[in-house]
Amino acid sequence: MIKFSKQQLKIPQLMRPVYLVTAGQSKFDRAIPDKRTEELCIDALTMAAELVNMSPAQLKSYIHSCYYGHFADHFGDQLLGEAVIHDRLGLDPLGNIGIKTGGATGGSTLWEATKAVASGYSDCALAMGWERMDEVPTDEGNFLISCAADKDWESPLGHIYTGYYAVMAQRYWQIFGKAEDSFRRTLAEISVKHHGYARMNPFAQSPMKITVDDVLKSPVVAYPLRALDCCLMSVGAACAIICDEKTAEQICKNAPHKPLRIWVAAGSHTLRPADRRDMEIPLLPNETADQYKDLGERFPGGDRYPGFTGFLATRMSAYYGYRMAGITDPSEDLDVIELHDAFTISDMQSYEDLGIRPYGQGRDYVESGDCYHTNPKTGQPGKLPSNISGGLIGCMHAVGATGIMQTFEMASHIWNRWAEIHGEEKIWRKFGRPKPADWTDLQVKGAKRGLAISHAGVGSHVTSTILIDPDHLLKKDD
């Protein structure tokens, strides 16, 4: 049984308002043999400068400290890669630090940069993440990723991370999905949606027009998960510039968008799911203890929390993050979200951990059509569209960059710049990708608030990054 102390449940507080002013990213792909990592990082930072109508040198002049997210040294075969990138970006002699929290590295990098600004250490910080996963064949890549499981107890069992998620998928499917074929089809819909949205994203690695049956007929990786249930292995970089209010105003002076308030909160849980002990469900502002009293009766076996069906780290990042930003109901208060869809099952699990649906009812978020840009059932805008970028399944999972890419995606909606960033012909041409004839503007109209989840391991580290238009805050600053 896990118990938290009052001190541990204190809601984190930023010492001053913090803003995301701009962001950028490179092309994402399975392999980019014609570019070094530093070239991808420079692509990202140059894009961030262009979005605020500055030269890279002008934007760099504001940066005071740097936070570099790069998860897997063994993928890139370069220890202290942060120092290489920092040098190539021409940011010496500024202080910099590398951040590694597996799949959550991008979110954790934003977490560190935000805290640096909130504390007053820096008025402007660079959060830059990247990953280079093309320097080994795919099976060796899977081996390297499996090294992020416990190397004595789990990694030797197949050396494949999909397997560690598949046991969760099996349990979730049988307990909450009641082993129904319809549930399995709902999981497959997530993949169809994310590959489909990736078609409208020139940065995305895996645009595909597929059906549920295509997903269900794709090769089994680790039953019940199939190839199209799984995220991509990618190369690419993404960055964001995090500032205090005064600097944010200066940088956005000639920009077509305004700075966005940012909050980042983090949670953690055991690296080995095997070590998860039972506990009471930490409640989000839109939940009550009563609603889970009969969870085990409605879903026999579902009363073991977090068990293998929930992510405590996600729940805790939301527990802190929602209260920091004043979110009382994510479905009502948020307009757009980006979830860490490492696998279709983890996407589903996150709906519940984030309180978008109560535990046991995650499938309804997909089946209702609420998670779509345009609800396929009603033809109306989805209530809370998710992973318009294509997510990790359709866009990319260049690990250290992922959480930053997803945060940038949210910002592009809140800035009302999604069509400009994703639709311009020159971007498609630059990346050598044909723009689809049926390209569709996926701007979430009127978006003011967003949430991005960055998630590591089998839930070992998770961050919630919340962006809000400063004219649409949910609470006054403390």
Interface residue list for other proteins (CB under 8 A)? 1, 3, 33-34, 77, 137, 139-146, 151-154, 156-160, 162-164, 166-171, 174, 219-225, 272-278, 301, 308
CB of 144 to other proteins, least distance (A): 8
CB of 276 to other proteins, least distance (A): 7
Nearer to other proteins, 34 or 438 (CB): 34
What are φ and ψ of residue 214, in 5° steps? -60, -45
Nearer to other proteins, 93 or 137 (CB): 137
CB of 32 to other proteins, least distance (A): 11
Classify residue 212 by burial, with Cβ atoms within 10 Å: 0-12, 13-18, 19+. Answer: middle
Q: How far apart are CA 340 and CA 393, in angstroms?
A: 9
CB of 319 to other proteins, least distance (A): 20
Tokens of 420: 């400009």
Q: How far apart are CA 393 and CA 342, in angstroms?
A: 7
CB of 280 to other proteins, least distance (A): 15
Nearer to other proteins, 167 or 283 (CB): 167
In angstroms, the Cα distances linking 290 to 72, 287, 411 are: 43, 9, 36
CB of 211 to other proteins, least distance (A): 22
Classify residue 107 by burial, with Cβ atoms within 10 Å: 0-12, 13-18, 19+. Answer: buried
CB of 309 to other proteins, least distance (A): 9
Nearer to other proteins, 202 or 273 (CB): 273
Sheet holding 235-243, edge to edge: 95-99, 65-69, 124-132, 235-243, 19-25, 260-268, 461-468, 449-455, 336-338
CB of 275 to other proteins, least distance (A): 5
Whether the ω angle into residue 224 lies within 30 degrees of 0, i.e. cis, is yes
Nearer to other proteins, 160 or 204 (CB): 160
Nearer to other proteins, 141 or 326 (CB): 141
Nearer to other proteins, 1 or 289 (CB): 1
Contact 125, 116 (CB under 8 A): yes
CB of 157 to other proteins, least distance (A): 6
Helices 181-198 and 344-353, axial angle in degrees (round to 10) = 100
Nearer to other proteins, 77 or 87 (CB): 77
Name which of 178, 172, 213, 174 is nearest 192 in CA terms: 213
Nearer to other proteins, 164 or 322 (CB): 164
Contact 263, 115 (CB under 8 A): no
In angstroms, the Cα distances linking 194 to 207, 227, 289, 383, 419 are: 8, 14, 33, 17, 18
* Angle subtended at Cα 171 by Cα 178 and Cα 179, rounded to the nearest 5 degrees: 25
